[in-house]
């Protein structure tokens, strides 16, 4: 019989490359058993083998296309039934960086399915057991492009905007419990997603690109500090505070029940 792990099981989606692969390593190092999700089973199997022998933890591989309703439901069902889960990182994501009229409908839907629908349904899958146990950690990976759109990122930015608002809503829902929900907004990081999206890393200003390991270690340092929103590459805390403050003040300023003067005065 497998020994019960007191850290529990961490689920990492998108563990076959980039941030997810490094998250898997760091969480294994912290002593979690792992459940790794992505499409490329060969990569997940290789990573699972390496982490098992390096850290002596248990690793389960779930090869699944999170853009497919059938596969997504299978993963969600697995997560609902696995009461050992203490942490979920919704990290899987995809991008196609071109204008909307040049992006196929298939690619647009894939971004919504993976970045939005899968993240939402997998959060749904673990939250009931977290609430029941009054503990658990959910980390949702959004992006700085979730609050800023480029002419090539309308759909991707839209999906990440969803992640930001959805995760903030969940944080409000779990207030007063021991459940921690962390929203993460990385900026440019050296992973395959740029090649996948059609913009090679070589085309970017090199000084703006963060190393994958640095990004993950900053995110986990933010988690350890108990942060609810983590911007791995933003050095100036005042920028984060000013943005948060402006967001709240704008909402408060909207609650007047009256048309603004500029629309009624000639
Ligand atoms: N790199 C950046 O500059 C940056 C910046 C901000 C936010 N992010 C976010 O960070 C997260 C991780 O991305 P990354 O940068 O590490 O890129 P990455 O190396 O391309 O990793 C993406 C991961 O998502 C998985 N994935 C993609 N489509 C999937 C699908 N249909 N079903 C299941 N898994 C799927 C991929 O696995 P398979 O291909 O094997 O399925 C891969 O493991 C994403 O949410 C991304 O939007 C990245």
- Rounded to 10 deg, the angle between the 69-81 and 119-133 helix axes is 10
Ligand 1 atom closest to the Cα of residue 188 is: 3
CB atoms within 10 A of CB 5: 15
For residue 203, the model assigns a pLDDT of 95
Q: What is the pLDDT of residue 38?
A: 98
3-state secondary structure of 51: helix
- Could you give all domains of the chain from N- to C-terminal order, each with its CATH number? 9-256 (3.40.50.720)
Burial class (CB in 10 A: 0-12, 13-18, 19+), 168: middle
Q: How many residues does the chain have?
A: 266
Asked whether 38 and 75 are in contact (CB, 8 A), the reply is: no
Question: Ligand 1 centre from 212 Cα, in Å?
Answer: 12
Question: Given the CA of residue 90, which atom of ligand 1 is nearest to it?
Answer: 45
Q: What is the pLDDT of residue 266?
A: 77
Rounded to an integer, what distance in angstroms lies between the CA atom of residue 107 and that of residue 105?
5
The pLDDT value given to residue 3: 58
Query: Is the pLDDT at 1 greater than 50, yes or no?
Result: no
Q: What's the whole-number mean pLDDT along residues 82-106?
A: 97
- Asked if residues 69 and 45 have their Cβ atoms less than 8 Å apart, the reply is no
Distance set, CA 241 to CA 7, 112, 226, 235 (Å):
33, 29, 16, 12
With a 6 Å cutoff on the Cβ, whether 90 touches ligand 1 is no
Is position 231 annotated as part of the catalytic site?
no
Report the alpha-carbon distance of residue 17 to residue 111 in Å, rounded: 17
Instruction: Give the per-residue pLDDT at 194.
Output: 96
Provide the percentage of residues in the chain whose pLDDT is more than 90: 97
Three-state DSSP class for residue 183: strand
Q: Residues 232, 210: contact at Cβ < 8 Å?
A: yes
Check if the beta carbon of residue 36 is closer than 8 Å to that of residue 79. Answer: no
Write down the pLDDT at residue 233. Answer: 98
- Which of 21, 38, 113, 233 to mutate to test ligand 1, by most ligand atoms within 8 A of the CB atom? 38
Q: Exactly one of 32, 156, 243, 263 is catalytic; name it.
A: 156
Tell me the backbone φ, ψ of residue 139, rounded to 5 degrees: -120, 120
Work out the number of other CB atoms within 10 angstroms of the CB of residue 253. 10
Tell me what the mean pLDDT of segment 49-65 comes to: 98
Beta bridge partners of 140: 90, 183
Q: What is the pLDDT of residue 5?
A: 86
CA separation for the pair 79, 102 (Å, rounded): 36
pLDDT digits (tens, 9 = 90+) for 207-249: 999 999 999 999 999 999 999 999 999 999 999 999 999 999 9
Q: Indicate the pLDDT class of residue 2, thresholds 50, 70 and 90.
A: low
pLDDT of amino acid 195: 94
Ligand 1 pocket check for 16: Cβ under 6 Å = yes
């Amino acid at each position: 019989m497998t020994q019960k792990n007191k850290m529990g099981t961490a689920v990492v989606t998108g563990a076959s490359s980039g941030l997810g692969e490094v998250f898997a390593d760091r969480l294994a190092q912290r002593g979690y058993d792992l459940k790794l999700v992505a499409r490329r089973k060969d990569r997940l199997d290789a990573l699972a083998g390496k982490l098992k022998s390096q850290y002596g933890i248990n690793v389960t591989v779930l090869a699944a296309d999170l853009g497919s309703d059938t596969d997504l439901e299978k993963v969600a069902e697995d997560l609902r039934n696995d009461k050992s889960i203490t942490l979920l990182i919704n990290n899987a994501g995809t991008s196609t960086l071109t204008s909307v009229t040049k992006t196929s409908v298939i690619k647009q839907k894939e971004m919504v399915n993976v970045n939005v629908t899968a993240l939402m349904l997998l959060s749904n899958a673990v939250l009931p057991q977290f609430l029941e146990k009054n503990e658990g950690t959910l980390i949702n990976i959004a992006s700085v492009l979730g609050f800023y759109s480029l002419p090539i990122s309308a759909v991707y930015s839209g999906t990440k905007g969803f992640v930001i608002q959805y995760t903030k809503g969940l944080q409000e829902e779990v207030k007063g419990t021991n459940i921690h929900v962390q929203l993460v907004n990385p900026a440019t990081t050296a992973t395959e997603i740029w090649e996948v999206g059609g913009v090679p890393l070589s085309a970017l200003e090199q000084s703006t690109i963060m190393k994958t390991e640095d990004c993950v270690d900053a995110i986990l340092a933010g988690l350890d500090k108990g942060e609810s929103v983590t911007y791995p590459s933003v050095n100036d805390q005042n920028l984060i505070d000013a943005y948060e403050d402006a967001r709240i003040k704008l909402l408060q300023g909207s609650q007047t029940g009256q048309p603004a003067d500029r629309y009624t005065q000639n």
